[in-house]
Amino acid sequence: MEITGVDQYHLARNLDGSFDPTWVPGYPQSRHELELFEIETDAGITGVTASPSFPGGIDYGDTLRLLLLGENPHDVSRIRRKLASLDLLGPRPWHVEVALWDIIGKDAGKPIYEVLGAMSREIRCYASTGEVKSAEERIEYVEDRLADGFEAVKLRITSREDIEIVRRVREAFPDLTLMVDANKGWAVRAVGEEERWSFAEALAVARDLEPLDIAWLEEPLPRHDYRGYARLRERTDVPIAGGEFNDGPHEVRELLRHGAVDVLQPDAMLATGIQEGVNIAASARERGVRFVPHTWTNGVGLAANLHSMTAARSPWCEFPIEPPWTAEVRDFPLTETIAAENGAVEAPSEPGLGVEIDRSVVGR
Ligand SMILES: [Mg+2]
């Protein structure tokens, strides 16, 4: 089989309002923008992938054609080595590998998780917020999610004072599984700067959270401060999570090598691709580290991570909900929205990624 074409589409959809994600400080989001790629083969099978984008788009279709045309999509390791050049000179390449697995699965007539040697399974979801909101609003949010069937919620904090929000939510919901994301690992600095914490501040936050029985504190320090994470982890009982947006398997393995985290979160689209993500998950398991990838990109990204999580037996799936950012907005390029039922989700079971692109969206 041979790759014969690469098509790129810049897709955008307006949100019904806007929200203020902690990872793009000072720049409210009123549109969902992404780059969709379709990789064609001489077997008539097309693989898809997608990456988050900026207004106006990021065009690297020509570069992908240079790297991919004539290659056999089954030769994932060889193509990954070629794609590493994209990481040197252009956007991150990890999401591109996902389209190869889509092709391989479709060729085999099996969902990707089956190709990876796994069986279908339900993964419990946590509802993932995107902005810092008042305790009153968050209590209402949790009530809505409990009504939807969720049993776990992740709150955002940016300052030590925000711990009061976590405290109030914990008081209102003693049995809720509660995660906390500080988002200090990285930021898109389009307008503002994120508030960073010193090591001492991160430690103070972690210790403040200790009595609140949280499942993890996510990204309290910059994503490359491997030793800082390891020191923090030694000095608090709160489980520490990170690694969602580290660049490539080497960086993610550094987190493991340093004993930096209790929960490792490399996103297949942003950090590792599927092949190395699943390999790293096995290494994490050997060290007693849980593998719970970040998923907040788009529906193609959620599907890709669901296949990795199914293969890696992840205990949780991040399920973003921060209206007007809804599952429908996230998955707008797909014919079908990936839904959480009773607070759990399963990887799509159709061949490959198991998602279908809505041609009317691409047509526009
Ligand atoms: Mg995060």
Domain 3-113 has CATH 3.30.390.10: yes
CA of 105 to the centre of ligand 1 (A): 29
Residue 84 has pLDDT above 80, yes or no: yes
Provide the pLDDT for residue 363.
78
The domain 123-345 is classified under which CATH number: 3.20.20.120, 3.50.30.50, 3.40.640.10, 2.160.20.60?
A: 3.20.20.120
pLDDT in tens, 43-71: 999 999 999 998 889 999 999 999 999 99
CB 216 within 8 A of CB 206: no
What number is the average pLDDT over the span 240-262?
98
CA of 219 to the centre of ligand 1 (A): 7
Can you state the angle between helices 61-68 and 76-89, rounded to 10 degrees?
A: 140
Classify residue 350 by its DSSP letter: S
CA of 107 to the centre of ligand 1 (A): 34
Residue ranges of the domains in the chain?
3-113, 123-345
CA of 210 to the centre of ligand 1 (A): 19
CA pair distance 31, 338, nearest whole angstrom:
20
Average pLDDT, the chain: 97
CA of 358 to the centre of ligand 1 (A): 28
Provide the pLDDT for residue 56.
87
CA of 41 to the centre of ligand 1 (A): 35
What number is the average pLDDT over the span 11-37?
96
CA of 74 to the centre of ligand 1 (A): 32
Measured between alpha carbons, how far is residue 274 from residues 77, 96, 152, 153, 175 in Å? 11, 10, 26, 26, 34
CA of 157 to the centre of ligand 1 (A): 11
CA of 42 to the centre of ligand 1 (A): 39
Q: What global pTM score does this model have?
A: 0.98
% of the chain with per-residue pLDDT over 70: 100
Can you state the angle between helices 135-148 and 163-172, rounded to 10 degrees?
A: 50
CA of 43 to the centre of ligand 1 (A): 39
Provide the pLDDT for residue 364.
63
CA of 56 to the centre of ligand 1 (A): 25
